[in-house]
Structure 1
Amino acid sequence: MYVPTPTQRDPHLTAGPPWWLVIGPGFAALIGLFLLTVIYRFDGRSALQIELGMSSQSLLLNAVVAYLVAAAIAVPAGLLLGARFPTSVTVPAICLMLLGVLLVAFVPDSVLLLVGRVLNGLGAGAAIGVTVALIRRLRTGRGVAAGVTAGLGVLALAIAPFLGGLLSDSVGFRVVYLVAALFVFVALVVAGVLGIVALAKKPSASPMPYPPHA
């Protein structure tokens, strides 16, 4: 009689996530990094700061420190849950980002700016955590994925003040955040669609067939 050994395992159970599953949270994480520094500009006070009548210290606390603290709180959740439930974590995270960006786009005062930036930071932090968790579990191309993602993240942080200042001078800071909201919505659609595809491709758990008794 044939008895299966305990070492026999379904190879699908130990396989890492497909590389394309990183696209959704990775795209959202890049937008989150862009939104972190777009609040500033290199050549003076930002249009948002001027329109809301905020001091430099108030802008730092309400728009940057609040964002970073919220992101730091959310990153561990993305790291812990993102590898097992990437779509279930990414989609709510992007929804928080979208709500925060829209709130900043129509913000009337610094109080609501603080709320919007906190929501934005929570979503961005969770997306960054999911991205890191998925990249760590990749079986192949882990170094390339990490390098490309890190490089694009640095680029997003660097160009955001310049691009944000340029657009703010032309059309106003609110349009900048409305455009950002469009990109966040695209990230939400991409993450949702790829999550559905990953779920459809997931093999169903079925018992290993046994050979007939000898």
Structure 2
Amino acid sequence: MYTPPPVPYPVAAPAWWQVLGPGFAALIGLFMLTVIYRFDGMSEIQRDLALSNQSLLLVGLVAYLAGAVLTVPIGLLAGARVPTVAGICATCFLLLGVVLAAFAGTGVLLMLGRAFSGLGTGAAAGATVALILKLRQRRGVVAGVTVVLAVLALGLAPVIGQVISEATGYRMNQFLAIPFLLIALVVNGVIGLVRLTAAKRPAPPGPSGVPYPPAGTAGPGWRPHSGGSAPGPG
């Protein structure tokens, strides 16, 4: 009796809402990148820590970008395979960096905090890009919305940061980021649980008793085989 070979189901593509996990963390990281600056002169953090323009450039920008450059490739690889793990790890790095920057009393500690924040931002951004590239539906819309939000985060952060720092000090900008990062952790965890539950859900059987692949996994040439015939292109 002829036994048909198993049907090789394609790997499931992510849904657009799965981008929300690392994407939310990446937006917070981009906001924190420019929140310590202001457009009309010396920032509060530069004045309080007695930093020169060169020192602020090194401590505030170079350290952040260096950390991000190191982890973007890691985020790209991890985001394509384990996006929930990538999002949670990235958020934890960001959280550690924000806490260090909030309690920084010297330029060295501030640079360390900025470097950790950069590590988290790079990993989250890489994971976000990896997920967007794997989308089969609404890829253009999700990519466009993500780019717009990223530009807004970078552009609005100095304005919002200036208002907050003039009223309460620059450290409040760091403290206010902590609740949002905790929310990002919860979002990543919930999305991971939903993905795990969906992956374990049994697929309903087709007309011939062959289970259909999970939603979104079947390619255009897939069809259930019956009567001992192998699947062929549609």
TM more than 0.5: yes
- Equivalent in 143, 150, 154 of residue 153 of structure 1: 150
- Equivalent in 107, 111, 116 of residue 113 of structure 2: 116
Bigger-Rg structure (1/2): 2
Q: Given the alignment of the two structures, is residue 71 of structure 1 paired with residue 68 of structure 2, yes or no? A: yes
Q: Given the alignment of the two structures, is residue 165 of structure 1 paired with residue 162 of structure 2, yes or no? A: yes
Could you tell which deviates more after superposition, 15-24 or 121-130?
15-24
Task: Kindly indicate whether the alpha-carbon contact (under 8 Å) linking 2:22 and 2:86 is maintained by their aligned counterparts in 1.
Answer: no
- Equivalent in 80, 88, 95 of residue 83 of structure 1: 80
AA paired with 2:163?
A: L
AA paired with 1:170?
A: A
Per-residue Cα deviation, 1:11-35 (whole angstroms, up to 9, x for no partner):
xx43201221110100000011111
Q: Which has the higher contact order (CA 8 A, sep 6+)?
A: 1
Q: Given the alignment of the two structures, is residue 62 of structure 1 paired with residue 66 of structure 2, yes or no? A: no
Q: Tell me the distance in 2 between the aligned counterparts of 1:160 and 1:58.
A: 20
What is aligned with 1:129? 126
Q: Tell me the distance in 2 between the aligned counterparts of 1:152 and 1:212.
A: 52
Task: Kindly indicate whether the alpha-carbon contact (under 8 Å) linking 1:70 and 1:121 is maintained by their aligned counterparts in 2.
Answer: yes
- Equivalent in 93, 97, 121 of residue 96 of structure 1: 93
**TM norm structure 2:** 0.84
AA paired with 1:4?
A: P
- For this pair of structures, how many residues does the alignment match? 209
What is aligned with 1:9? 8
Q: Given the alignment of the two structures, is residue 21 of structure 1 paired with residue 18 of structure 2, yes or no? A: yes
What is aligned with 1:48? 45
- Equivalent in 164, 183, 200 of residue 180 of structure 2: 183
For structure 1, the residue ranges without an aligned partner over 5 or more in a row are none
**What is the percent sequence identity of the aligned residues?**
53
AA paired with 2:90?
A: A
For structure 2, the residue ranges without an aligned partner over 5 or more in a row are 204-209, 212-224, 229-234
Task: Kindly indicate whether the alpha-carbon contact (under 8 Å) linking 2:35 and 2:173 is maintained by their aligned counterparts in 1.
Answer: no
- Offset of 1:3 from its aligned partner? 3.1
> Of Structure 1 and Structure 2, which has the larger fraction of its residues in helix?
1
SS at match of 1:40: coil
What is aligned with 1:143? 140
* Displacement over 3 Å in runs of 4+: 203-206, 208-213
Q: Tell me the distance in 1 between the aligned counterparts of 2:81 and 2:93.
A: 20
Per-residue Cα deviation, 1:51-99 (whole angstroms, up to 9, x for no partner):
1110011000011011001101100000012111101111111001001
